Amino acid sequence: MARRGKKKGRPLSGWLVLDKPAGMGSTDAVSKVKWLFGAQKAGHAGTLDPLASGMLPIALGEATKTVPYVMEGAKVYRFTIAWGEERSTDDLEGPVVKSSDNRPTEAEIRALLPRYTGLIMQTPPQFSAIKVGGERAYDLAREGETVEIAAREVEVGRLDLVSIPEPGKAVLEVECGKGTYVRSIARDLGRDLGCFGYVADLRRTEVFPFEPAQLVTMQALEETAADAASEEERFAALDPHLMDIAAALDGLPEVPLSDDAATRIRLGNPVIVRGRDAPVEAPEAWASARGRLVAIGTVEAGMFKPKRVFGQ
């Protein structure tokens, strides 16, 4: 029987809040970070189109187990809509499919924004990762097929007009939930205004629970790596950029454990939740020992029951 080979890379875990540059795909960014840190495993929380820049949270090692909690978090985007054209991709990349000489006024734009907040129905772009009949929509669209994508309910917390830098453009900021397409907002606003529109520039500024102050640029990482005289020196210089795994769980209640209780949890056993502020019931919570994440689970009738264990 063939024996499983040893995993390549370091078994380190944590979150890196990358400021992804425009022109780089999310998968390429993850691969680059994985190599720079010499990590065994890496993933990201929410794809950014190659043309977009901004916050791309990257999980290394066991942090990949907490990716779903970041995926569910609210996101903030600042984007520029160019009026007068609709494009096949709803951004700069695709050819023009419709055009208009009309240009909206500030008052006309502001009057429409409330229509795009709250729970709304939105049709994803033709060029998107949505699966249609088992195929990615963008693969079908590239083959020239007209893809019928059903509208979906998404949540938009706010949509603000930031500025009008010139008559043919408008800068907006949106705070939205999982599955919302900024390109669809630009397309639909353009149609409703009777002038057409597409995203000319897009930057993701926030992904809850991470903050803009935590952003690290790819350039800074590469320069740090280039200055290192050895691999060990490179890792020593880069590792301080990593945040603890539990940073992704900011919205969940924490259950502090003793060392003995942590051992029981790691064996898959429930433990009694102790402490004046400990939750009696919680559909999701995370347990810690000495400030480190031990497990994610539920609290039922004063008992913490692990579902996913860390650090074994």
pLDDT tens-place string over residues 164-193: 999 899 999 999 999 999 999 999 999 999
At 298, the pLDDT band (50, 70, 90 cuts) reads very high
Q: What was the pLDDT predicted at 233? A: 96
At 49, the pLDDT band (50, 70, 90 cuts) reads confident
State what percent of residues in the chain have pLDDT above 70.
91
* Same domain for 79 and 65: no
pTM of the model: 0.90
Q: What was the pLDDT predicted at 120? A: 97
State what percent of residues in the chain have pLDDT above 90.
79
Show the domain range for 274.
252-309
* Same domain for 134 and 121: yes
Assess contact for 190 and 90: CB atoms under 8 A. Answer: no
> In the structure encoding, which two tokens stand for residue 9, read together?
């890379």
Assess contact for 92 and 199: CB atoms under 8 A. Answer: yes
User: Rounded to an integer, what distance in angstroms lies between the CA atom of residue 43 and that of residue 58?
Assistant: 6
Catalytic residue selected from 19, 49, 90, 188: 49
* Same domain for 200 and 79: yes
pLDDT at 142 exceeding the cut of 90: no
Residues 6+ apart with CB under 8 A from 207: 45, 46, 55, 57, 70, 73, 75
pLDDT tens digit sequence for 63-91: 999 999 999 999 999 999 999 999 999 99
User: Rounded to an integer, what distance in angstroms lies between the CA atom of residue 203 and that of residue 20?
Assistant: 9
* Same domain for 152 and 198: yes
Active site includes 227?
no
* Same domain for 173 and 116: yes
User: Rounded to an integer, what distance in angstroms lies between the CA atom of residue 22 and that of residue 210?
Assistant: 20
* Same domain for 174 and 114: yes
Asked, for residue 137, whether it belongs to a domain, the answer is yes
Q: Tell me the average pLDDT across 141-157.
A: 77
DSSP conformation class of 264: H
